């Protein structure tokens, strides 16, 4: 059975100031299981969420295939999809823009209510890992830059990538952080995502 889910922090932070959030995760599966797992972490203009597609949608973006027709979540600002299969970065199946072929074990950035592709690239570490791995994200430069970091085995944070959001917030603007997950992305075998130590830093807004 395909599953997609998402959750959002109840507190909003000011996008015109720096926002930093981090968490540790691991993806568990039995040996020999196939089908792929993936998750997003995202910034949203609304706290409460519904919808979010199964499979290629990673519980956050849209997914359309046969009788499966899921909308993406509302009021998306920017989503970062960590995908073992890479299909979150492809076009079709609900996405209007994207790559023609997936990049396996990749990070994909999608922006806006249409989930337009910003960029997609391979990663130096394996997303599908049964040991805890830590990620950190920084929205800076008045919302115009998003930096993504990975904590290596020596507890050093290494920059994965830096992208321009092409948005600038000169006045206080509420953004909410969250995580979504889908399993399986392909096939019929499921994976389990575990998350701990989800921390948010920034200027809170009521």
State pLDDT tens for residues 15-40: 999 999 999 999 887 666 666 789 99
Check residue 33 and give its pLDDT.
62
Q: Which residue has the tokens 């089908």?
A: 35
Residue 139 has pLDDT above 70, yes or no: yes
Residue 54 has pLDDT above 90, yes or no: yes
- Measured in residues, the chain has a length of 206
- Higher-pLDDT residue of 188, 57: 57
pLDDT above 90 coverage of the chain, percent: 80
How far is the C-alpha of 21 from the C-alpha of 135, rounded, in Å?
Answer: 9
In this structure, are residues 136 and 20 in contact, taking their beta carbons and an 8 Å threshold?
Answer: yes
Give the model's confidence band at 50: pLDDT under 50 very low, under 70 low, under 90 confident, else very high: confident
pLDDT above 70 coverage of the chain, percent: 95
Check residue 36 and give its pLDDT.
78
**What average pLDDT does the segment 55-63 reach?**
95
* Closest listed residue to residue 183, CA positions, set 56, 80, 73, 79: 56
Check residue 34 and give its pLDDT.
65
Predicted confidence (pLDDT) per residue in 70-126, tens digit: 999 999 999 999 998 999 999 999 999 999 999 999 999 999 999 999 999 999 999
**What average pLDDT does the segment 175-202 reach?**
90
Which residue range(s) make up the domain with 162?
A: 3-205
**What average pLDDT does the segment 166-175 reach?**
97
**Token duo for residue 97:** 């823009």
- What residues have CB less than 8 Å from 153, skipping those under 6 apart? none
Give the model's confidence band at 12: pLDDT under 50 very low, under 70 low, under 90 confident, else very high: very high
Give pTM, 2 decimals.
0.94
**Token duo for residue 107:** 């990070």
Domain count, the chain: 1
Least confident of 14-23, 117-126, 140-149, 180-189: 180-189
CATH number at residue 132: 2.60.120.200
């Amino acid at each position: 059975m395909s599953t997609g889910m998402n959750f959002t922090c109840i507190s909003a932070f000011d996008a015109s100031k720096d926002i930093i959030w981090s968490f540790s995760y691991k993806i568990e599966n039995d040996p020999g299981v196939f089908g792929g797992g993936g998750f997003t972490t995202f910034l949203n203009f609304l706290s409460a969420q519904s919808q979010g597609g199964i499979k290629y949608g990673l519980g956050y973006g849209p997914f359309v295939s046969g009788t499966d027709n899921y909308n993406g979540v509302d009021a998306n600002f920017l989503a970062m999809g960590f995908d073992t299969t890479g299909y979150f970065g492809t076009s079709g199946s609900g996405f209007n823009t994207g790559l023609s072929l997936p990049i396996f074990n990749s990070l994909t950035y999608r922006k806006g209510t249409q989930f337009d592709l910003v960029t997609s690239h391979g990663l130096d570490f394996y997303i599908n890992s049964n040991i805890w791995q830590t990620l950190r994200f920084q929205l800076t430069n008045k919302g115009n830059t998003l930096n993504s970091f990975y904590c290596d085995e020596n507890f050093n944070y290494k920059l994965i990538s830096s992208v321009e959001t092409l948005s600038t917030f000169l006045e206080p603007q509420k953004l909410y952080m969250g995580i979504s997950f889908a399993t399986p992305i392909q096939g019929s075998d499921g994976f389990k995502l575990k998350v701990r130590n989800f921390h948010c830093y920034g200027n809170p807004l009521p």
